[in-house]
Amino acid sequence: MSTVFIAGNIKMNRERMGLSKEALGKRIGVSGVTIGYWEQGKTTPRMKKVEQLAAVFGVEWDQLIVNEPVKNTEDIFNALPGLSEERKKALEMVMKVSNDDLALLLSIMERTLKSE
């Protein structure tokens, strides 16, 4: 099983991009203090914020939560406790989608969320 390293991965990617905690927080709609808590492992970002962080860093979201690419959904479920069964099913399906289809799926999801 992969080991969760989200705190260190957020800090490493933030520093790699030369961003302050405040600047990163502003990009994803949280405070610099929140970024600090995530980097210290005091709190953990929700999945939506993990996805936003990944987009800012230009990496896949699974690269933020583990020290190696996720090989199975059980790793995700262990890293993100409290996921509903619906979210687990959605994540299992996303893990099976090709990268080309994933881009289309993300576009559809973004349009759906904007229309709410």
Tens digits of residue pLDDT in 28-65: 999 999 999 999 889 999 989 999 999 999 888 888 88
Burial 15-35 (b: 16+ CB within 10 A, else e): eeeebebeebbeebebeeebb
Tokens standing for 12? Answer: 């490493």
The domain over range 6-114 is classified in CATH as 3.40.50.1000: no
Q: How far apart are CA 65 and CA 55, in angstroms?
A: 14
Phi, psi of 67 (to 5 degrees): -85, 0
State which amino acid sits at residue 48. Answer: K
For helices 47-57 and 6-16, angle between their N-to-C axes, nearest 10 degrees: 30
pTM across the whole model:
0.58
Give me the residue spans of the domains in the chain.
6-114
pLDDT at 71 over 90: no
